Amino acid sequence: MWEMKLNISRDLQNELRRFANEAECYECCGLMIGSQNTVARLILAPNVAADTSRSFEIDPAYLIAAHKKQRAGAGHIIGYFHFHPNGVTGPSERDAQLATPDGMIWVIIANKQLSAWRAVNFGAHLGRFDPLEIICSA
């Protein structure tokens, strides 16, 4: 049974907002490292999608590097984050199509607000995501 919450510190929430501010009009994106439902750190990665204003694709080199570190015991990939420059909160249709229902946590930044989701089968949002409550852990 998945927990329906995400613990993320004020500092890390502000770091996500900073990434979004700096991106302005493209979808910045990256990885969240931590354990279970707690984010320990963020890795900003290049967006290699064809149209970065409307979609994102994390640079595979960053994914491979993070998986290698995970195997070496240096931190677990618990999910992904990205920014919606159009201000729409929550995962888009495109996000739902691209997401694997693997229990990974998705954080979306829009209008300086964060929302958190878990990619699952038969999710409440677009059939792919269940909403998570964000707990400010420090």
Identify which range of 34-42, 69-77, 92-100, 118-126 contacts Zn ion by CB under 5 A: 92-100
Separation of alpha carbons 138 and 118, rounded Å: 22
Tokens of 105: 């946590």
Residue 128 in contact with Zn ion, rule: CB under 5 A: no
Q: Which residues 27-86 are close enough to bind Zn ion by CB under 5 A?
A: none
Residue 92 in contact with Zn ion, rule: CB under 5 A: yes
Contacts of 133 (CB under 8 A, 6+ apart): 4, 5, 6, 116
Cβ proximity of 39 and 21 under 8 Å: no
Terminus-to-terminus CA distance in the chain, angstroms? 25
Residue nearest Zn ion, CB atom distance: 95
Nearer Cβ to Zn ion (13/115): 115
Residue 95 in contact with Zn ion, rule: CB under 5 A: yes
Smallest distance from the beta carbon of 30 to Zn ion, in angstroms? 13
Residues that bind Zn ion (CB under 5 A): 92, 95
